[in-house]
Amino acid sequence: MVEVIKAEVSEALARKFRRKAMEIYGYKKGAMKTALEDMMKRFAASGSVDWRSLRGCIQSKSTSVELQHRMWGKAD
């Protein structure tokens, strides 16, 4: 069974992702799908999240996107 997932991302991020996907998976049909599936599998298998590190963030005046960027920045 196949499921369609739609999301809006910035043009800059989409360009970077497409470029990287083509570099890794080749300049052929299905490269984007393969890259997205690989990325999602790695994300899903990455293990547990340290939810304690989010303590106090929920009450901040940051938007949910800003909070995500803050947390993702720690993982880099």
pTM, full prediction: 0.55
Structure tokens at 76: 């880099």
Per-residue pLDDT of the chain (76 residues; tens, 9 = 90+): 888 888 898 999 999 999 999 999 898 998 999 999 998 888 888 776 666 665 665 555 667 777 677 767 654 4
What is the phi-psi region of residue 47: left when phi exceeds 0, alpha when psi lies from -120 to 50, beta otherwise?
left
Domain assignments of the chain as residue spans, ordered by start: 8-45, 48-76
- Distance, in Å, from the CA atom of 31 to the CA atom of 38, rounded to the nearest integer, reads 10
CA distance 1 to 3: 7
